[in-house]
Structure 1
Amino acid sequence: MNVVHYNSNVWDKKVESGCVWTQPVSSEIVEKAKKGEWEVIVTANKTVPKNWFPPIKGLKILCLASGGGQQAPILAAAGADVTLVDISDKQLEKDIYVAKQNNLHINTVKASMTKLDMFSDESFDLVLHPVSNVFVEDIIPVWRECHRILKHGGTLISGICNPVIYLFDDEQEDKGVLEVKYSIPYSPFSALTEEELSKSLENGEALEFGHSLEQQIGGQIEVGFVIQGFYEDDFGGVRLLDKYIKSFIATRAIKK
Structure 2
Amino acid sequence: MNIREINRDAWNRNVEAGNRWTQPVSPETIAKARQGQWEIILTPVRSVPKSWFPPLAGAKVLCLASGGGQQGPVLAAAGADVTVYDMSEKQLGQDRVVAEREQLTIRTVQGDMADLSCFADETFDLIVHPVSNVFAQSILPVWREAARVLKRGGVLMAGFVNPLVYIFSIEAEERGVLEVKHSIPYADHEQLPKERLEAHLRDGVPLEFGHSLEDQLKGQLDAGLVLTDLFEDNYGGESPLDKHINTFIATKAVKLKV
Please classify the TM superposition score into its range, dividing by the shorter chain length.
over 0.9
1:231-246 alignment to 2 at 5 Å?
231-246=231-246
| AA of the residue aligned to 2:54 | P
Distance in 2, Cα, partners of 1:194 & 1:10 = 18
Matched, 1:52 2:58: no
1:194-213 alignment to 2 at 5 Å?
194-213=194-213
Give the deviation of 1:6 after TM superposition: 1.0
Cα offsets for 1:169-228 (capped at 9, x unmatched):
122111111111111110123323445433332232211100010010110011111000
| AA of the residue aligned to 1:53 | F
| AA of the residue aligned to 1:236 | G
Aligned to 2:68: 68
Moved more, 182-191 or 130-139: 182-191
Matched, 1:34 2:34: yes
1:154-173 alignment to 2 at 5 Å?
154-173=154-173
Cα offsets for 1:108-165 (capped at 9, x unmatched):
0000100110000000001000000011111000000000000100100000111111
Moved more, 201-210 or 212-221: 201-210
Aligned to 1:116: 116
Give the deviation of 1:51 after TM superposition: 0.7
- Aligned-pair identity (%): 54
Which structure 2 residue ranges, 5 or more long, are not aligned? none
| AA of the residue aligned to 2:183 | S
Root-mean-square deviation (Å): 1.0
Normalising by structure 2, we get a TM-score of 0.97
Matched, 1:189 2:189: yes
Cα offsets for 1:73-131 (capped at 9, x unmatched):
00000000000000111111111000111110000000010011000000000100000
Distance in 2, Cα, partners of 1:43 & 1:187 = 21
Distance in 1, Cα, partners of 2:199 & 2:35 = 48
Distance in 2, Cα, partners of 1:101 & 1:88 = 20
Distance in 1, Cα, partners of 2:44 & 2:82 = 22
Tell me the SS of whatever aligns to 1:230.
strand
Cα pair distance change 1:28/1:195, threshold 3 Å: closer
Decide whether the 8 Å contact of 2:189 with 2:207 is kept in 1. Answer: no
Normalising by structure 1, we get a TM-score of 0.98
Distance in 2, Cα, partners of 1:200 & 1:101 = 34
Cα offsets for 1:11-38 (capped at 9, x unmatched):
0000111110011100000000001000
| AA of the residue aligned to 1:48 | V
Distance in 1, Cα, partners of 2:204 & 2:36 = 40
Cα offsets for 1:38-96 (capped at 9, x unmatched):
00000001000001001110010000000111000000000000000001111111110
Tell me the SS of whatever aligns to 1:107.
strand
Which structure 1 residue ranges, 5 or more long, are not aligned? none
Aligned to 2:133: 133
Matched, 1:107 2:107: yes
Distance in 2, Cα, partners of 1:250 & 1:194 = 32
Moved more, 202-211 or 76-85: 202-211
| AA of the residue aligned to 1:170 | I
Q: Give the count of matched residue pairs.
A: 256
